[in-house]
Structure 1
Amino acid sequence: MLEERWERIVSEVNFAFQPIVNPHTGMVFGFEALLRNYQDAGFESIEALFEAAFRERVLYDVDLELRKKVFIKFVDIRKELQTKNCNFTDTVRVFYNLDTRILDMSEYRPGNTKTILNNLGLDQSILCFDISEKHQIKSFTALRNVLTIYKQQGFCVALDNFGIGFSGFELMYHSEPNIIKIDKQYIRNICFDRKRRLYATQMVKMAHIEGAIVIAEGVESEEDLNIIRQIGCDFAQGFLIARPTVKLKELEFVYKVSVFSADSDKKAASSDAGLIQKYLEKRQPLEINMLVKDLLERFKHDNEAVSIPVVDKFSRPVGIIEERKMKKYVYSLYGKEIVQKHPLARYVTNVPIVDMHQSLGEIIQDFTSYNDIDGIIVADGGIYAGYLSARLLLETIHLKNIETAREENPLTKLPGNNAILNYIEQATKDTANYRMLIYMDLDNFKPFNDRFGFKIGDRAILMIAEQLKEYAKKHNAFIGHIGGDDFFIGTSLANENEVQKHQVLVADILQTFSFAVKAFYEKEERKKGSYTAKDRFGEERVFALLEASAAIINLDAGAIIGNDELGEVFSKLKKESKTADSHMAIHFIRKP
């Protein structure tokens, strides 16, 4: 029972709610509850309120009353959304910041939260506890034990503000969270900072390997939203979508698509998604609230099921249960009788959970980063879509390799025109980044080929191709072979300084090639910079030495160009590059 002072404080504070949404559809995944009006209750900050409660040893009781307040408001949110005739479902969660110090308090008792939820007609699976390293954790073993109980009861655990502080990775290791929330420090202005993008990308990969889904916090611009989609974040939260509000009427179930870039589903259009869909096994999952006896029945009647996916009651993937790992329980003396009434949650193994629209390369990377697993779970928008076993994954890779081999140039082994067109289509829509598009070809290649023959001509083409491959490897660029002596290069850059840097790198490629091919000519010809040979009509003519030239189109972040305009600009620049001293012609397309 709280003292009158603390009852007054609890009654005076309020909670605002901020939506967490699917970045492709705008559909709400959950709402985070954020404490407000703490100044009216006599505190300078949220932290000051909780510190006072902790000092006075009432933190646990205060926290329980605050939870109750959040849950009551969440019931009101449901009612409000239902009045708008929205298709509100029970899958939507409420995120509540958990002060981990309460877990060490003598007053702490498991089961109180579940009782409060049930009294309000809410299922415990709607609650996700946000934990962070804001306060020192005395015992990770005790924390893990409590969080394991929470998860077995159906609660969700999210690691908040991931990426800041000193022990975030240790906390991730011990808490085994269902959700990772990447701190806004890594998300805000990610479109302009390649280092932020690199760090965030690795966090997403690590989370997916551990079977956790990822929320990007602090999304404040369409450009940042585009990037967090590209790196594989499952959900987004930030001012771009909606600010926290205490006015429940302002909340929606689906946020308008116009808030987002028109290019929201470009990953869905990829050929990889089609391949994955083709080989995806629609293996029937079990719900986590079932008992082991249900699992044993399934294994008994399905001889091919060596592992079974497990989902929560709303079809969100949790992990798998493998038959081989259950044998030590089932075949031990009295083991079967003992474990039959156990909940499945005790025996779930984490596996990579990948999104249907991730690239096959990313999925393979997730799979190979895990030891001793039979396959991976595939989700679509956070909902279970199917299972991809190791065998079927290998078949998918094999088919992908065949398709790639059909497309690539037989001489240089570089992607061909379809891949180039797909890249250009995506790059011109990627308004979040600066983009450099380059058409590179060899000048005077026809007379060179006529004089030295096809074998030497092919060597010259391979020389420039190898330089371009090296550039692509170092700078994560796309290289395509249009045909003959024509190539395409594309890369996304963080800022205009990067654009200038890469223009210098392209100039180096041209100069290096020009110097290398001079070895094919006579000393006197190299000295003059030309040679005499017969043209296609049999007439003696003077030809310049073989060189390479580049037509470069630089698009600012936010700049847009259509395919027809792109073709016209390239055509003009190609002519200009042939006569330029630098063998380069450059055109900038600025943001409107």
Structure 2
Amino acid sequence: MTVTEQLSALDNILAHGDLHSVFQPIVSLSQRSILGYEALTRGPSNSPLHSPINLFAIARQAGRLSELELACRESACKRFNQLGLSGKLFLNISPDSLMEPDHKPGCTLKMLQTHGIAPSNVVIELTEHSPTHDFQLLDTALHHYRAMGFNIALDDLGAGYSSLRLWSELRPDFVKIDRHFIDGIHLDPVKREFVGSILKMASASHAEVIAEGIELGEEFDVLANMGVDLLQGYYICRPQDQPPRDAGTILPREDSTADHASEASGGLQELLHPQKAIRQHTTTCQVLDAFRADSTLNTLAVLDDQDQPIGIVHRHSLSEALLKPFAAEIFTRKPISRLMSEDYLRVEMSQSLQQVSRLLTSRARQRIEEDFIITQNGRYAGLGRAMDLLKLITDEKIQQARYANPLTQLPGNVPIQKRLSKALSEPREALICYVDIDHFKPFNE
């Protein structure tokens, strides 16, 4: 198809709105829930511009990128509303279109209002295809979106021309690691180091990391064990016209991602404090009475009517909030849901100590004395304490050092015997491989 024919096809697509939106879920591993969906656009199925690569390339060449992106947003919002999807809607927008002189501010907000979508449920996902030079202009454009309640995500981190500087300048709410660093991460220690560095930088900048482009179970397992909580890719779910609503139908079974350490430690059972929770309609006055009655009580989980955690109340945070002028008079008789924090760590009972430790340390806003919520199959089970977690992991490391071979760090006779005894006592099949290496003693010495 010639360029002229492609331009003509683009004219027809934009004139008739002949675009189709599909959605790929982004899942939270710790909460086993769907955070939201990335909207992806396809052209007419019988057109050479069906592929988004061809479609956006010809639009950029024709100087109609902003027009195409606006049409894509319209299609995505309309379809998102028709499907009744919940969670966040991730919309791809290029910095180029935001900084075009004829870019019309306010169109996206009006579009969302038409389709009944709150701006707080929308993430503007910046995809960089060419160098960004005017960071101040881009920041001004994004400030306009932030002021209306939108979140910002930086796509393809590590692949763009200036993605690290964009991160530093724009301070996005989400960063998506480029597929290159996910591909074969289980075989490449350098890629694991890169992702580890991203997690540390995200913690410092209060951003959440999304690993996209996961295509293999081995990649999924490595990322999960590294503490990456938000995941996206073909291994979990391909982009679909009718995307799933329940993460449980697309995530691997929880025991398939657990570390071997969780087998030894019995999951989080040792950390669980079956602390009674409160309902979202409980008044602030009643919560204050509960804290006054028990000086050892530091945290209360807030549940909805289905015993699902929706927030958390820390003693020190509540005290600080009520110290503000007129706060006590305003909030004392109001539901605690008005003052609870929705920014908390929630983990499943089946997760390993190492996974929870990584999630805990990746949260810059998590104070060491703050408790976290533990759930069993999504329902509230109790609270966990960071200090208890650190103690258990320290004890486990000491135990491993005591029973490991000092040279190879492989398990010694004691843990091997314990593991064999455990395998024999369980009502399931087990495979055992015995390897005897001749003349190894000289190497060992």
TM-score range, shorter chain: 0.5 to 0.7
Residue 45 (structure 1) aligns with:
54
Residue 185 (structure 1) aligns with:
180
Write the distance in 2 (CA, Å) between the matches of 1:283 and 1:12: 51
Identity percentage over the alignment?
17
Q: How many positions carry a matched residue from both structures? A: 399
**Distance verdict in 2 for CA 1:167–1:284, change over 3 Å:** farther
Structure 2 contact 151–173 (Cα < 8 Å) conserved: yes
Residue 145 (structure 1) aligns with:
143
Deviations 1:198-231 (A, max 9, x none): 2113323544565554432111222222222222
**Distance verdict in 2 for CA 1:402–1:233, change over 3 Å:** closer
2:223 corresponds to 1:228: yes
Q: 2:20 aligns with which of 1, 14, 23?
A: 14
Write the distance in 2 (CA, Å) between the matches of 1:371 and 1:263: 26
Using the TM superposition, give the Cα deviation of residue 70 of structure 1 relative to its aligned residue in structure 2, in angstroms. Answer: 1.1
Deviations 1:165-224 (A, max 9, x none): 354344445555443322111111112111112211332354456555443211122222
Residue 274 (structure 1) aligns with:
268
Q: 2:432 aligns with which of 544, 565, 586?
A: 565
Structure 2 contact 177–211 (Cα < 8 Å) conserved: yes
Using the TM superposition, give the Cα deviation of residue 116 of structure 1 relative to its aligned residue in structure 2, in angstroms. Answer: 2.3
Using the TM superposition, give the Cα deviation of residue 7 of structure 1 relative to its aligned residue in structure 2, in angstroms. Answer: 7.5
2:444 corresponds to 1:577: no
1:45-194 pair list within 5 angstroms: 45-48=54-57, 51=60, 55=63, 59=66, 63-78=69-84, 91-100=86-95, 107-109=104-106, 111-118=109-116, 122=117, 126-134=121-129, 136=132, 137-139=135-137, 142=140, 145-151=143-149, 155-165=150-160, 167-173=162-168, 175-194=170-189
Write the distance in 2 (CA, Å) between the matches of 1:143 and 1:384: 41
SS of aligned partner of 2:439: helix
Deviations 1:65-115 (A, max 9, x none): 43231122224445xxxxxxxxxxx64443221334565566312742441
Structure 1 contact 9–41 (Cα < 8 Å) conserved: no
**Distance verdict in 2 for CA 1:280–1:174, change over 3 Å:** farther
Q: 1:397 aligns with which of 363, 366, 390?
A: 390
Larger radius of gyration: 1
Residue 256 (structure 2) aligns with:
264
SS of aligned partner of 1:12: coil
1:273-312 pair list within 5 angstroms: 273-274=267-268, 277-279=271-273, 301=289, 303=291
2:358 corresponds to 1:362: yes
Q: Which amino acid aligns with 1:112?
A: K
**Distance verdict in 2 for CA 1:68–1:181, change over 3 Å:** same
RMSD of the alignment, in Å? 5.3
Unmatched segments (≥5 aa) in structure 1: 79-89, 288-293, 409-413, 421-439, 441-464, 472-477, 489-561, 585-592
Structure scoring higher RCO (CA < 8 A, sep ≥ 6) equals 2
Deviations 1:302-358 (A, max 9, x none): 546878889999967799893465467x23xx7889999xxx999999977474535
Structure 1 contact 99–131 (Cα < 8 Å) conserved: yes
Unmatched segments (≥5 aa) in structure 2: 1-9, 418-428
Structure 1 contact 375–388 (Cα < 8 Å) conserved: no
Residue 424 (structure 2) aligns with:
none
Q: Which amino acid aligns with 1:482?
A: N
Using the TM superposition, give the Cα deviation of residue 36 of structure 1 relative to its aligned residue in structure 2, in angstroms. Answer: 1.7
Give the alignment's TM-score, normalised by structure 1. 0.51
2:39 corresponds to 1:33: yes
